[in-house]
Amino acid sequence: MSDPIIRTSNLHRIYHGAGGDVHAINAVSLDIQPGVMTAVAGRSGAGKTTLLNLLCGLDQPDEGQVWIHDTDLYALSEAARTALRREKIGFIFQHFGLLPLLNAAENVSVPLRMRRLDRREREHRVLEALEMVGLRERAKHRPYELSGGEQQRVAIARALVAHPEIILADEPTGQLDSHTGRRVLNVMRHLASEQGLTMVIVTHDPQAMDEADVVYHLHDGGLVDA
């Protein structure tokens, strides 16, 4: 087995509120292998999204460490963490996050525009990413002209277009019916198996758990046996 691409050690995140402290993440240590589809499963409120945010440096742990390859994520400055996310990580969200006035190709191109890639390179990468999710022919359609499953596949293409090593997905089938969710999971499965991408999915969808190579179960912020 290769070295983990993401590793956490004794990770804690505590939120302080008027009603008392909430231990959202409690002593979580896990290894995520490269090229593997990993699911973090749990009910709503289990801490899944908090963990996802900690894995990519969007939140700050109260205790513990996160490494991406050999880089201690929280030893970096905020600017360096932002640069690492931009270079190595793509994101897929439950609610798609597409801009309604842009067509599919324009939505996919947003991360490349932020990098200021030249137009020819942008267009090549956008069509490549849409081809990977089977939507090249829908490039000129706006979100309202696409089904929910097609919108989620556009969101996957947007995550892929910058050629990341890691895809982090927050309930990617949460807004989809079971049949459409299966199609989206098949796309993600293919990307992990054929493209070597590391997929980390937080989910309560049994289909996503069945599709994953590795499943971690989270309950009240801590890892538990299935």
Domain ranges in the chain are 6-220
pLDDT score, position 114: 79
CB burial of 138-155 (b: ≥16 within 10 Å; e: otherwise) equals: bbebbbeebebbbbbbbb
Q: What's the N-to-C CA distance of the chain in angstroms?
A: 23
pLDDT score, position 40: 95
pLDDT score, position 20: 83
Write the DSSP string, 17-70.
ETTEEEEEEEEEEEEE-TT-EEEEE--TTSSHHHHHHHHTTSS--SEEEEEETT
With a threshold of 0.75, does the pTM exceed it?
yes
Average pLDDT over every residue of 178-203: 88
Average pLDDT over every residue of 4-24: 91
Confidence of residue 44 (pLDDT cuts 50, 70, 90): confident
Average pLDDT over every residue of 38-53: 91
Among residues of the chain, what percentage have pLDDT more than 90?
Answer: 58
Q: Which CATH class for the 6-220 domain?
A: alpha beta
pLDDT score, position 1: 60
Residues facing residue 13 across a β-bridge = 25
